Amino acid sequence: RDILNRLHINLCSINTCRTLFVDKIIMEKQTFSKEELKKKLSPLQYHVTQEKGTERPFTGKFNKIKDEGIYSCIVCGLELFSSDTKYDSGCGWPAFNDVLDKGLVKLSKDTSNGTIRTEVQCARCDAHLGHVFDDGPKPTGKRFCINSASIDFKPANSTSDK
């Protein structure tokens, strides 16, 4: 994967090429059976990612973490967010003002609970991650409000590759 990333950086310098790279190399759909997921995930992780649940605010393990690194989908491991775009929004969930690449997430209208929101899902495995709002900081103005139960964290100084 490191070689592919370096090749990508050397050959592609514009967003359209980056999106094509993401679509072709990383985005092969992954599906898991209910049984596989129930073995792999905690009950809360399963509820959040598969049943579109939400963890209680201020309870997630990544809400206050400030370490440098990458946040990935807890279900399939797809890298989604960087600590470079993480900020304390005060909402009670980890907040990011951007994703690593727009093609890594799916955005869709969510009208559950009597409100209109935009749901964020992993583009590779369709896991529910959280919601995105238009009240974030510049330059994007976005607040990706993500459940800690839907992501994992790999510190920047980690030498192992997931």
Domains of the chain: 1-30 (no CATH), 32-155 (2.170.150.20)
Which amino acid, one-letter code, is at 105?
V
Is the pLDDT assigned to residue 15 strictly greater than 50?
no
Q: What is the pLDDT of residues 25-60, one digit of tens each?
A: 567 899 999 999 999 999 999 999 999 999 999 999
Q: What is the pLDDT of residues 48-91, one digit of tens each?
A: 999 999 999 999 999 999 999 999 999 999 999 999 999 999 99
Which helix (DSSP H) or strand (DSSP E) does residue 44 occupy? helix 43-50
What are the catalytic residues? Answer: 145
- Counting Cβ atoms within 10 Å, is residue 117 exposed (0-12), middle (13-18) or buried (19+)? middle
pTM above 0.75, yes or no: yes
Distance CA 96, CA 69 (A): 13
Pairing relationship of beta strands 128-133 and 117-122 according to DSSP bridges: antiparallel
